[in-house]
Structure 1
């Protein structure tokens, strides 16, 4: 009768192979282009890598894919390992050093999903000497991170239906630099743009350029209101304008202007300094 062969699960093999190569979880994650949390889940038996990552692991450790995925195969010859305590301490020191040199990115995806997309996705942190990768981008219904993509996106770089960030792109975009149907920022471009420098169909700001209406200190548009204004129909601020004067001017030359937009441009036009 054939003797029973010793079994070893993938998670156990991965821990031993990684330690044999002297790698921390974070270093292995970096080589594979995944998060440290992904490696931790693999080693904890909570998840399995996809086929592409299995091939990368086999090439990195010099073992076959069969060895990785089949429990009954024996482990290849390797150097003697450190005991568990020594290995753990070494990993902690290497992780601390890696975080200091390269930075740390906190990653979280909620279990709740809509159409397979996490309800909340978070990727916050910094990564020195490393390019932004897909693993560092928050993607969810609500996305928060250095780079965020979602229905509601908040981040340094954000793309969404509603986006807030240093660089924001969306239907409603709020940011230092904003692009959207409605954009508000230091530099804004959109159908309706409001900012220090604003370009749009309807634009308001210090320097405003609108194909239809522009309101600002310096305004250029078909209909323009400002201290320095140029266009087909112009209302100069002069020594001052009342809200009633601005509203009457806009209603006369742009009678179909949307009510809320009319009120915003009226208030802006009456307070140009």
Structure 2
């Protein structure tokens, strides 16, 4: 028998579902489905966990020619609490040794098949982050997070917050999105120490249309140091009405909330 056939048989004999097995191993149900479908093989740490869980050797699991499980306990219909405790301890030890501790949590509540809250957070010792350690949910929190709201070292989502943030609204040290705020910001509207966008503001800003910054480069530029086709220099200071009037002169159809934001930045450059 192949590994996939053995795993399917052992799981069914133990009376647990793919989702229950996935929860015990700290992986996704899709991963278990791929193992049983023969399209993927688990990594060594998961093979060891499976052998502990079902009371068979790793040899039996991976060697097709071994037809009978070498189970010293003779096999059981159900997984005992003692086996479960042993498995949990072994998984913790191996995880700490090989990868470092990663805390995992997925809420039972799901929307469109995704957990309402997904958490994957911790230290990955070997520096490689597998997809099993990526938080994926409506609200995702972790080292690497993907969701509608994503919070993490790397965040990808409609609203993302992180050291590196990518999203419709992105806030981070490095932010890329429709609207981005960060030390380095790239977007349609980009605000940051270094900002690049269609409309941008900050300390140093480059824009396709309007830049408002200490150092600004754009067709319409407002700043202490500014370069462009239409330039308003900060000089000894600018009032909000002066900045607003200048922006409206060259962009009369500018969206009012954006006009207010750029006007406020221009009046407080220093």
**1:76 equivalenced with 2:70 (yes/no):** yes
Q: Which residue of 2 aligns with 1:38?
A: 24
Question: Superposition RMSD on alpha carbons, in Å?
Answer: 3.7
SS of the aligned residue for 1:151 comes to: strand
Structure 1 pair 129–230 and aligned structure 2 pair: CA distance change class (3 A): same
- Which of 211, 219, 228 is equivalent to 2:208? 211
What SS does the corresponding residue of 1:260 show, helix, strand or coil?
Answer: helix
1:134 to 123, 128, 131: 131
Kindly indicate whether residue 152 of structure 2 is the aligned counterpart of residue 146 of structure 1: no
Q: Distance in 1 between matches of 2:195 and 2:23?
A: 42
Please give the alpha-carbon distance, in whole angstroms, between the structure 1 residues aligned to 2:147 and 2:218.
34
5+ residue gaps in structure 2? Answer: 1-8, 15-20, 42-46, 52-56, 75-80
Shift of 1:88: 6.0
- 5+ residue gaps, structure 1: 1-8, 15-34, 68-72
1:259 Cα offset (Å): 1.1
TM-score after normalising by structure 2: 0.74
Give the secondary structure class of the aligned counterpart of 1:128. Answer: coil
Q: CA deviation at 1:77?
A: 6.1
Q: Residue 257 of structure 1: which of 249, 254, 257 is its match?
A: 254
Cα shift readout 1:23-82 (whole Å, capped 9, x = no counterpart): xxxxxxxxxxxx98432799xxx9x933525864599723269x9xxxxx96436599xx
| Equivalent residue for 2:35, pick from 13, 34, 52 | 52
Match of 2:245 in 1: 248
Give the Cα separation in 1 of the matches to 2:68 and 2:13. Answer: 10
What is the CA distance between 1:91 and its match in structure 2?
7.2
- Could you tell me how far 1:269 is from its partner in structure 2? 0.5
Q: Deviations over 1:184-211 (max 9, x none)?
A: 1000000000000000000001000011
8 A Cα contact 2:60 2:69, kept in partner: no
CA distance in 1, matches of 2:85, 2:24: 18
SS at structure 2 position matched to 1:62: helix
Distance 1:201 1:79, change over 3 A: same
Conservation of the 8 A alpha-carbon contact between 2:215 and 2:225: yes
